[in-house]
Amino acid sequence: SECKCRRPPGTEIYRETSDNDVDNDVNMNGSRISVFEVDGKEHRVYCQNLCLLAKLFLDHKNLYYDVDPFFFYIITEVDALGAHIVGYFSKEKHSAEDYNLACILTFPQFQKCGYGKFIISLSYELSKREGKAGSPEKPLSDL
């Protein structure tokens, strides 16, 4: 049977808006950008599968089973068919070091499109809203 899901689980926390045309928010590919916050504890299998998929592209990726202590922020391009994932980052719910980003991945077909910069900027904006300085875990991934 066909899957009826057309977007990631979790809460949509960001939708790109355009000053020019609010009703037709599109990026250069003709799609809108949306970001979803997914709790690793509430959507364990989805987040584990996301980590396993990321492991195909990141040599050092080792988190894929213990996703409970993380939030996952899924960046998508939205069109008439649904929300299509272009990348994500994960963040510890409670970081002793105030890290604002644990793992970051932009899928290869979307690299060099500005999504990596967008993801890093988003992680800092979320930290500011929490009243924390925050910095990414070191080292950052190659991709």
Q: Tell me which residue has tokens 């970001």.
A: 35
The residues annotated with a catalytic role in the active site are 137
The pTM of the full predicted model, rounded to 2 decimals, is 0.83
Chain-wide mean pLDDT for the chain? Answer: 83
β-partners of residue 35 are: 14, 75
**pLDDT per position as a tens digit, 27-51:** 555 668 999 999 999 999 999 999 9
Find the mean pLDDT for residues 116-131.
87
- Tell whether the model's pLDDT for residue 25 goes beyond 50: no
Residue 13's pLDDT is 95
DSSP secondary structure of the chain: ------S-SSEEEEE---SS-GGG---TTS-EEEEEEEETTTTHHHHHHHHHHHHTT-TT---SS--TTEEEEEEEEEETTEEEEEEEEEEESS-TT-EEESEEEE-GGGTTTTHHHHHHHHHHHHHHHTT---EE-SSPP--
| Segment 7-18, tens digit of pLDDT | 999 999 999 865
89: amino acid identity, one letter:
F
pLDDT tens, position by position, 76-102: 999 989 999 999 999 989 877 777 788
Q: What is the reported pLDDT for 36?
A: 97
pLDDT in tens, 127-140: 888 877 766 555 55
Tokens representing 56?
Answer: 């195909």
- The predicted pLDDT at position 128 comes to 83
Query: 51-76: buried (b, 16+ CB within 10 Å) or exposed (e) per residue?
Result: beebeeeeeebebeeebeebbbbbbb
Strands 99-101 and 135-136: parallel
Measuring CA to CA, how many Å separate 71 from each of 29, 92, 96, 127, 135?
28, 6, 15, 13, 16
